[in-house]
Amino acid sequence: MWTFLLLIPWIFSLRIDESKTLSKIAFGSCHHHKRPPNPKIFYSITNWSPDLYIWLGDSVYADIPYFYIATYPRNLSSWKQLYDNLKENPGYKELRNTTMVTGVWDDHDYGINDGDKNFILKKEAKTLYLEFLEEENSKRLGHEGIYDSYTFGKKGKSIKIILIDIRSFRDNKWDSEGDSLGEDQWKWLEKELNNPGDITILANGLQINAQERWIKTERWHRKSYQKLLYLLNKTPGVILLSGDVHMGEILKNTCENFPIYEITSSGMTHTAFTTFGPLVWIPAYGIMSFTYNTGPRILKFNFGTIEVDWNTGDIEMAIRDSEGKYLFLEKTSIGELYSKPKKSYLCEKSEAYRSSAHILAMLLVYLFPIAEICIAILIFLRKYSRSY
Ligand SMILES: *[C@@H]1O[C@H](CO)[C@@H](O)[C@H](O)[C@H]1NC(C)=O
Ligand SMILES: *[C@@H]1O[C@H](CO)[C@@H](O)[C@H](O)[C@H]1NC(C)=O
């Protein structure tokens, strides 16, 4: 009877075990309780049988919208209730029962839209978040914020997971000179990157290689982005993960010492398309530049996957739909992650050039056909309208 009771936590949620070698990792973000639930996506993740699932933020939406312009934090009991409800979601329950789960927060599970270091409930938020992940003895309790790292598997087949806390130490997003990680987290990150895995996965809520986009989704502060690139230039084998933007895409930055892939998976219950409708095609397929894109922006519900074949060194990175089918697949290898990339001509250009050139190209693609259609209509009217 007592042994049975002791076993319960292990039966219902698999614990992190760093002695395991990982070859399949899944991840996702943006799970809203007010949207139609999508338990299927959790079943699909489970069926894909990952060794580890990583939350990239916004696992719950703990903030309450205020006239569409701002949000305020909800009380702690209803906040906890959101996590409890998610834990009761049958799809998530099954995932939790069969797969190791970890994660980091972004703004909405931190407790406030676009939240930064000044959020007053960050201690309470941390307690609730670690309770949600069932990390009673978490290493993260030893410091402020929720950054953490794990190294799974032995040398030769090791994957290091670095979880970045992009909220607790972040200066306000409008502070252009601001810092995204805070001094302690930077020191820690530098140490972690000095001691990488064969593959190192750096996971956080915000998109990283998105500096030059005209539509300013939230992002790393410019100086912090450059500081991160400086560290990544000394560390081969890194893949970045991000969420937040309610779409999926796979980016590849070839402007540094090693190719830096970034997989963005966002939108388990809602995407920019389900929120804004076809209007979102204008930014997603038009205005937002594609400097680092390896493929399209994905506006369907999605989760992301990385699969490593340790025998060949091949790596498959994918964005998948609620059924688990590929929406986009990109292949690389450990060899490629450790080699000098072939630089794109855009690397030499300034950020302003990149985004302006993109806007100009988009005008040519969209505005010219529209102008032509207008002229054709005018000619037609002129020819056939008697009143003319
Ligand atoms: C907390 O918020 C919920 C929902 O907004 C509300 O129903 C509940 O009464 C609140 N509880 C307290 C203690 O204020
Ligand atoms: C969890 O897994 C165990 C065996 O691995 C099984 O007996 C149990 O029914 C599962 N629970 C849920 C909620 O899926």
What mean pLDDT, rounded, does the chain reach? 93
352 lines ligand 2 (CB under 6 A): no
In a domain, 2, yes or no: no
Residue 6 lies in a domain: no
Confidence at 386, pLDDT banded by 50, 70, 90 = low
Nearest ligand, CA 11: 2
For residues 287 and 385, state if they share a domain. Answer: no
Q: Looking at residue 136, which CATH number applies to its domain?
A: 3.60.21.70
Domain presence at residue 5: no
Q: How far away, in angstroms, is 78 Cα from ligand 1 center?
A: 6
Is residue 252 within 8 A of residue 16, CB to CB? The reply is no
Same domain, 193 and 229: yes
Measured distance CA(385)–CA(388) in Å, rounded: 6
State the residue range of the domain holding 358.
350-388
- Give the model's confidence band at 10: pLDDT under 50 very low, under 70 low, under 90 confident, else very high: very low
Distance 88 CA to ligand 1 centre (A): 20
Ligand 2 center from residue 93 Cα (angstroms):
9
Which ligand 2 atom sits nearest the alpha carbon of residue 94? 14
Q: Answer with the residue of higher pLDDT: 137 or 169.
A: 169
Answer yes or no: do 296 and 380 share one domain.
Answer: no
d(CA 88, CA 86): 5
Indicate whether 339 and 388 sit together in one domain.
no
CA of 325 relative to ligand 2 center, distance in Å: 25
Q: How far, in Å, CA of 162 to CA of 165, rounded? A: 10
Query: Residue with the nearest Cα to atom 5 of ligand 2?
Result: 11
Query: How much is the average pLDDT of 102-127?
Result: 97
pLDDT at 387 over 50: yes
Residue 337 neighbours by CB distance under 10 Å: 21
Residue 97 beta carbon below 6 angstroms from any ligand 2 atom: yes
Residue 263 lies in a domain: yes
CA distance 201 to 241: 7
Q: Are 34 and 119 in the same domain?
A: yes
Same domain, 256 and 387: no
* CA–CA dist 268, 247 (Å, integer): 10
- Same domain? 236 vs 330: yes
Number of domains forming the structure of the chain: 2
| Residue 362 pLDDT exceeds 90 | no
* Residue 382 pLDDT class (50, 70, 90 cuts): confident
Based on the domain organization, do 293 and 210 belong to the same domain? yes
CA 79 to centroid of ligand 1, rounded, Å: 9
The pLDDT of residue 94: 95
Burial of 276 (0-12, 13-18, 19+ CB in 10 A): middle
User: Is 34 a domain residue?
Assistant: yes
Answer yes or no: is 3 within a domain.
no
Residue 111 shares a structural domain with residue 174: yes
Residues 103 and 230 in one domain: yes
Residues 61 and 200 in one domain: yes
**Do 321 and 372 lie in a common domain?**
no
Helix, strand, coil percentages (3-state) for the chain, rounded to 5, are 35, 20, 45
Q: Return the ligand 2 atom nearest residue 12 CA.
A: 1
pTM for this prediction = 0.92
- Spacing, Cα 69 to ligand 1 middle (Å): 22
Candidate from 64-78, 114-128, 308-322 with smallest mean pLDDT: 64-78
Does residue 315 fall inside a structural domain?
yes
CA 147 to CA 139: how far, in whole Å? 9
Q: How confident is the model at residue 9 (pLDDT cuts 50, 70, 90)?
A: very low
- Is residue 11 within 6 Å of ligand 2 at its C-beta? yes
Tokens of 300: 């369907």
Inform me whether the pLDDT recorded for 338 exceeds 60: yes
The verdict on residue 4 lying in a domain is no
Question: Is 87 touching ligand 2 by the criterion CB < 6 Å?
Answer: no
Whether the predicted pLDDT of 7 surpasses 70: no
Asked whether the beta carbons of 130 and 143 are under 8 A apart, the reply is no
* pLDDT tens-place string over residues 150-166: 999 999 999 999 999 99
Q: What is the pLDDT of residues 298-319, one digit of tens each?
A: 999 999 999 999 999 999 999 9
